[in-house]
Each structure stands twice: as structure tokens, then as C-alpha cells.
Amino acid sequence: MSWDSYIDNLIAQTKDASGAAHCDKACIIGLDGSCWTTAAHANALKLQGQEGVKVGNCFKSKDFTLFMTSGVWVEGNKYQFLREEDKKVVFAKFKGIGSLTLQASKSAIVIGHCPEGGQQGNLNKGVNVIAEYLESLNM
């Protein structure tokens, strides 16, 4: 099964009334940091090295101290940790590049990127739709 279609679905969920999407890149990883979506997708968020493992470990342990002290590393960029909600959603920002929303389901983490100037609220909605759908499938 290819998970890449979930990237398209997430991006579509972030569109505003004018039809503009507020997500330019996304991926889904397992709680172990393994990539579920492929880097071949045109809008794939491409995690490097141990980035996925570190994200997975934080969500699996529900301890976000690493993000608070060292930032959220994605695609070789250090995003400033903004906050977490309910031990399952994390928000981060990199001035000039954009923002991240990360949300965990039972076995996966959905990660979306909003380009600078976009509306992170729309991104939050799109990430939530996919994460909640996975949760409804016991994933």
C-alpha cells in the first residue's frame, strides 16, 4: 500500500475559501521513525538522518524535552518548538521558512509544513483530519 496519496489528501484539506493550499510538504512516519510516505512524492517532506527517529521517540515517550531544548529538526532545518497539546500535537516555526504541525495517532505521526506567509491554522486542520482518520482505523 502506498501512503503517498495521504500527502495529496492532507494538502487538499488545508485549502482556504479561495482554493489556496496552506501546506506545501507533508509526510507520515511510524512511532519508530520509519517513513510511511516516500520521498518520491513531489510534495514529500524529506526527513534526514535520525530526524524521524528523534521525532518518533519524543511522541512515543510523550516527552518533548528534546524539542524544547534542541528544536524540531526536519529536512536539516531547526524549527523552534512553540508548544505541544495533549501529548499528541506539536507546533514549531522557522522564521523565513515556515511552520510545522506534527500530530500522532496510535502508531503514526503526521507531519505537515506550512510555507512562510501561509495560515498554520489551515495546516493544523489538514494534519488533524489525517491523524484522526488513522486513529479511527486503529493506526
Q: Is 14 left (phi over 0), alpha (psi -120 to 50) or beta?
A: alpha
Would you say 63 and 104 are in contact if contact means Cβ atoms under 8 Å apart?
A: no
**pLDDT at residue number 2:** 77
Quick check: 1 pLDDT over 90? no
- 3-class state of residue 78 by DSSP: strand
Give percent above pLDDT 90 in the chain: 99
- b/e map 59-81, b = 16+ CB within 10 Å: beeeebebbeeeebbbbebebeb
Average pLDDT, the chain: 96
Is the pTM for the entire model greater than 0.75? yes
Q: What number is the average pLDDT over the span 23-36?
A: 97
**pLDDT one-digit tens code per residue, 92-108:** 999 999 999 999 999 99
**CA torsion, points 19, 23, 25, 26, in degrees to nearest 10?**
-110
Distance in angstroms (rounded) separating the CA atoms of residues 68 and 81:
6
For the record, the C-alpha cell of 80 comes out as 523552534
